[in-house]
Chains A and B, each alone.
Chain A
Amino acid sequence: MSLSRRSFIVTGTLGAVALATAAWLRGSHAPAPTVARRALDGDAEAIFAAIAPVMLAGVWPEAPAARVLAQQETLTGIDAAVAGLAPAARGELHQLVALLSLPPVRIGLAGLHGSWQSASPAEVRRFLDRCRDSSLLTLRAAYDAFHALIFAAWYGNPRAWPAIGYPGPPEFAAPP
């Protein structure tokens, strides 16, 4: 991984071209998300829905209803966080999602022959390890973006706090 600054710029540029091409290829045909969202389209929702349970393995409750709720709230949190990003950062994430949704990329890079919706945890795990350990800056940035958005969405949620022993912030009454 001891790449020079120059090769980082080159891989960064190649990555940017690939990302922009993917976004262009997809055009405006991204599917709609399952519920009304501010920033995530259906493709982005599917990718985050596949990755979040793997990054948060062993963290969400086991009981089915509570688990579904945790997943839904995490996706809602990610959506809110993405909506709050600067346009440039949102654009980069949009391009990344477009790239990962292209079948050749999904198969070749992520090793997923089916859709993101049908990806197994083991397949997602392999994809995340590949991104994290990649020599390409773009893929490491992708891992970092998933990491930041997913952990922020879950651990910013008071539902996550009892399990880690965080009592929540002190409360003050509003002045009269």
Chain B
Amino acid sequence: MTSSTAVVIPDPVAEGLAGGWKVIDASRAERDLVLDADVVIIGTGAGGGTAAEILAASGRSVVLLEEGPLRSSRDFSLHEATTYPELYQESAARKTRDQAITILQGRCVGGGTTVNWTSSFRTPATTLDWWQREYGLADVSPAAMAPWFERMEERLSIAPWPVTPNANNSALARGAAALGIATPVMQRNVKGCWNLGYCDLGCPTNAKQSMLVTTIPAALEHGATLVTRVRADFFTTRGDAVSAVEAHAIDPATGQPLARRVTVRARSFVSAAGAIGTPALFLRSNLPDPHELVGRRTFLHPVVLSAAAMPEVIDGFAGAPQSVYTDHFQEGQALDGPIGFKLEVPPLHPLLTAVTLSGDGAQHASWMRDYRHLHVVLALLRDGFHPHSAGGRVHLRGDGTPVLDYPLTPYLFDGMRRAFVAMAQIQFAAGAQRVAPGHGPGTAYTTLAQAVAGIGAFELAPLVTRVVSAHVMGGAPFGPDPRRAVVDPTGRHHHLRNLYVCDGSIFPTSIGANPQLSIYAFAARIASGLARSLA
């Protein structure tokens, strides 16, 4: 795909900067900054970006704080080795406390939306019904939420992917079809997508309708100020209100705090730092938390994976990374029964592929030699609904940085074992020559019977079974009952009258689907309510 006739792509961010957007790189500021605004938003991902546009368009003065850099299409090299340290939290190597789960999170302007795979699902009706019934969230019915989903679908050009799925997705569809399992087409937030397959490394053509090219430019056009490379340390409070957020500039070379300080005073504060960042900010700030809810019940959609060698060329690095899925293994099953899972496929760029495949030496090398024939399926486990699925807890290290303690439990392992079998069945049904579940040394099986027997004997355990996550949710749940929720159903803190949460932290369980559209819709609703209250 390396082309000698390189194409020039217009960069709307570069044009906006040239046109006078107010953007400050805190790491290059010559003195400490003190800013005043109607609203300060901490984080520029799905929640913060959505809130920024709505609040700025309503006439409020808005300051956005972002820990990562502002990078746009002209900067995206599409090389993994430089992109992960640049655009991902902890170089895409963030781990849970026992190191057993690798967490992928964006850390750049646009947050996760700049590097996600564009998969867009409305919050499943079963999940919304559960929140109504179990958490007293009376007005989150699918009908009540429909206008918010519609609004964000329209804003971000979210529509079913009309193009033939790439070979990695097609193999999932083919194997599932052979077993009588449906694989619906996904919705994606793209406009004029080139079907390149590099969504995870920053969209080079600005087709992905991430916050980077939609809501954040709109907010900046409305006069918002964006401060990059700045990490919010804590809120200062006076009585029952937040008065300021204190932050430090971040050194681009080391990711560590610099001496340069940033203080933002505002009428209202919106935390949109993600489901690890928001609870960590609250914990560092010692905010009122009488029922010790902050940072608890953090969910991950823990993911296990299965690799297969297919007879045909797959080239899993090319083409829209996710375009079909199946809910066959969770739909219609009791939410609080044995854990269900969603099946999807990932993009297969060489670095992340090599790191994710189990084992090493000759065996690992043989898989990498088959790289072009490699097919990988992911199972995303729907955590947070069963009493034995209480998720994880965000703690602070001595230096104030967060770490998520997420125990892998027998309840989860049961689902992982069933997922390994389901994925192997589908891969063999699709014609796989060998299948290696992501567990232990990465033993490969050449028949389904062998695989099923092997998986049955797996001793599933942390750092034996490969587990990853790209969806962090919970830790500051919304709900009417202050004994069970950190923020109220409008997103406002139960104990601080001008503090709002506008990110995946508010979800009281996992979503059961890739969460970006859920975050967009709830953030739009929360920010619209806040905009009305400030009018």
| A interface residues (Cβ-Cβ under 8 A, vs B) | 1-3, 5, 8, 12, 54-59, 77, 80-81, 83-89, 125, 128, 132, 137, 140-141, 143-145, 147-148, 150-152, 154-158, 160-161, 163-176
Residue B532 lies at the interface, judged by CB distance under 8 Å to chain A:
no
Residue of B nearest to A134 (CB): B463
Shortest 6 CB-CB distances between A and B: which pairs?
A: A156-B81, A169-B78, A140-B463, A155-B354, A173-B6, A84-B85
SS class, residues of chain A in contact with chain B? helix
Residue B533 lies at the interface, judged by CB distance under 8 Å to chain A:
no
A54-B361, A55-B360, A170-B198 are contacts. A151–B355 as well, Cβ < 8 Å? yes
Contact B362 A156, beta carbon cutoff 8 Å: no
Contact A169 B8, beta carbon cutoff 8 Å: no
Contact A5 B91, beta carbon cutoff 8 Å: no
Contact A168 B463, beta carbon cutoff 8 Å: no
A55-B361, A86-B401, A132-B441 are contacts. A171–B79 as well, Cβ < 8 Å? no
Contact A169 B198, beta carbon cutoff 8 Å: yes
- Which residues of B, 301-351, contact A by the 8 Å Cβ criterion? 317, 350-351
Contact A167 B74, beta carbon cutoff 8 Å: no
Contact B461 A3, beta carbon cutoff 8 Å: yes
Choose among B94, B95, B201, B350 the residue that contacts A155 (Cβ–Cβ < 8 A).
Answer: B350
Residue of A nearest to B370 (CB): A164
What is the CA–CA distance of A71 and B427 in the complex, to the nearest angstrom? 36
A55-B364, A141-B99, A175-B8 are contacts. A156–B351 as well, Cβ < 8 Å? yes
Residue B481 lies at the interface, judged by CB distance under 8 Å to chain A:
no
A151-B355, A160-B350, A164-B371 are contacts. A171–B2 as well, Cβ < 8 Å? yes
Contact A170 B93, beta carbon cutoff 8 Å: no
Stretch of B9-17, B57-65, B258-266 that contacts chain A:
B9-17
Contacts of B256 in A (CB 8 A): 87
Contacts of B463 in A (CB 8 A): 137, 140-141, 143-144
Contacts of A143 in B (CB 8 A): 463
Contact A59 B399, beta carbon cutoff 8 Å: no
Contact B204 A170, beta carbon cutoff 8 Å: yes
Choose among B73, B77, B399 the residue that contacts A87 (Cβ–Cβ < 8 A).
Answer: B399
Residue of A nearest to B458 (CB): A1
A144-B463, A176-B8 are contacts. A164–B372 as well, Cβ < 8 Å? yes
What is the CA–CA distance of A73 and B369 in the complex, to the nearest angstrom? 20
Choose among A59, A77, A86, A148 the residue that contacts B355 (Cβ–Cβ < 8 A).
Answer: A148
The distance from the CB of A104 to the nearest CB of chain B, in whole angstroms, is 24
Contacts of B351 in A (CB 8 A): 151-152, 155-156
Contact B459 A57, beta carbon cutoff 8 Å: no
Contacts of B14 in A (CB 8 A): 175
Q: Quick one: CB contact mask for B232-258 with A, threshold 8 Å, 1 for yes?
A: 000000000000000000000011100
Contacts of A161 in B (CB 8 A): 350
Residue B98 lies at the interface, judged by CB distance under 8 Å to chain A:
yes
What is the CA–CA distance of A132 and B409 in the complex, to the nearest angstrom? 20
| B interface residues (Cβ-Cβ under 8 A, vs A) | 1-3, 6-11, 14, 73-74, 77-81, 84-85, 90-91, 93-95, 98-99, 196, 198, 201, 204-205, 254-256, 317, 350-351, 353-355, 357, 360-362, 364-365, 368-369, 371-372, 397, 399, 401, 403, 407, 409, 440-441, 459, 461-464
Contacts of A157 in B (CB 8 A): 81
What is the CA–CA distance of A140 and B372 in the complex, to the nearest angstrom? 30
Which of B9, B74, B462 has the most C-beta atoms of chain A within 10 angstroms of its own C-beta? B462
Q: 10 extra interchain contacts, Cβ-Cβ under 8 A, other than A88-B397, A151-B357?
A: A56-B360, A86-B90, A89-B90, A132-B441, A151-B360, A156-B79, A158-B79, A170-B198, A170-B204, A172-B9
What is the CA–CA distance of A170 and B198 in the complex, to the nearest angstrom? 9
What is the CA–CA distance of A25 and B60 in the complex, to the nearest angstrom? 57
Contacts of A165 in B (CB 8 A): 371-372
A84-B255, A147-B355, A169-B198 are contacts. A1–B360 as well, Cβ < 8 Å? no
Which of A5, A148, A150, A170 has the most C-beta atoms of chain B within 10 angstroms of its own C-beta? A170
Contact B399 A89, beta carbon cutoff 8 Å: no
Choose among B95, B397, B407 the residue that contacts A5 (Cβ–Cβ < 8 A).
Answer: B407
A12-B98, A84-B255, A151-B355 are contacts. A169–B77 as well, Cβ < 8 Å? yes
Contacts of A125 in B (CB 8 A): 361
Contact B6 A163, beta carbon cutoff 8 Å: no
**A to B CB contacts below 8 Å, 10 in the list:** A80-B85, A81-B91, A83-B254, A88-B401, A137-B99, A144-B99, A148-B355, A152-B81, A156-B351, A169-B77
Residue of A nearest to B196 (CB): A170
Contact B361 A151, beta carbon cutoff 8 Å: no
Contact A175 B11, beta carbon cutoff 8 Å: yes
What is the CA–CA distance of A8 and B410 in the complex, to the nearest angstrom? 14
Contacts of A156 in B (CB 8 A): 79-81, 350-351
Residue of B nearest to A145 (CB): B99
The distance from the CB of B409 to the nearest CB of chain A, in whole angstroms, is 7
What is the CA–CA distance of A172 and B99 in the complex, to the nearest angstrom? 37
Contacts of B361 in A (CB 8 A): 54-58, 125
Contact A57 B1, beta carbon cutoff 8 Å: no
A57-B361, A137-B462 are contacts. A172–B98 as well, Cβ < 8 Å? no
What is the CA–CA distance of A171 and B9 in the complex, to the nearest angstrom? 11
Residue of A nearest to B198 (CB): A169
Choose among B74, B78, B99, B353 the residue that contacts A170 (Cβ–Cβ < 8 A).
Answer: B78
The distance from the CB of A86 to the nearest CB of chain B, in whole angstroms, is 5
What is the CA–CA distance of A174 and B254 in the complex, to the nearest angstrom? 27
Contacts of B73 in A (CB 8 A): 172
